Amino acid sequence: MAEINIIPLCDVLLVLLIIFMVTAPALSRSIDLDLPQASPPDRQPAAPVTLRIAASGELFWNGEDTSRTQLLARMREAARGGVETQPMLQIDAAGDADYQAVVQVLAEAERAGLARIGFLRQ
């Protein structure tokens, strides 16, 4: 009379038990996310602002050449209305632009209070 070998079944069940014991604590942890909120239908979103950083370090705010001091003033003006009315700041950095220039622009945007920032590559 043939008997059923249950040793492989026990091995599989023990492996599954270990996997569930390891992954169960990870399922109970929450991750905080700042999701975008829908704007009311009567309010039109502001037109996006394109900030181009050239390889030479020059800055162009919507195609106009601008200096660092003018940039901070323009960023503060764009951030004045609050997060809901802020335009999206689209940063287009040249492929060979200095990394430090991009970091400085991001720091100035944070200082000015801009919260809607994205990167654009044309």
pLDDT the model gives residue 16: 96
pLDDT the model gives residue 98: 85
Q: Measure the CA–CA gap between 29 and 94, rounded to whole angstroms.
A: 40
What are the distances in angstroms from CA 82 to CA 40, 85, 111? 15, 6, 14
Query: In whole angstroms, how large is the CA radius of gyration of the chain?
Result: 26
Note the pLDDT tens digit of each residue in 55-111. 888 899 988 898 888 888 888 888 887 777 788 888 888 888 888 888 888 888 888
Q: At residue 8, does pLDDT exceed 80?
A: yes
* CB-side neighbour CA atoms (13 Å) of 57: 8
Note the pLDDT tens digit of each residue in 18-60. 999 988 877 777 777 777 777 666 666 678 888 898 888 889 9
Confidence at 11, pLDDT banded by 50, 70, 90: very high
pTM above 0.85, yes or no: no
The domain segmentation of the chain, as residue ranges, is: 49-119
For residue 85, give the nearest of 49, 119, 59, 58 by alpha carbon. 49
Fold of 49-119: Nucleotidyltransferase; domain 5 (3.30.420)
For residue 89, give the nearest of 58, 57, 52, 54 by alpha carbon. 52
11-17-22 Cα angle (round to 5): 130
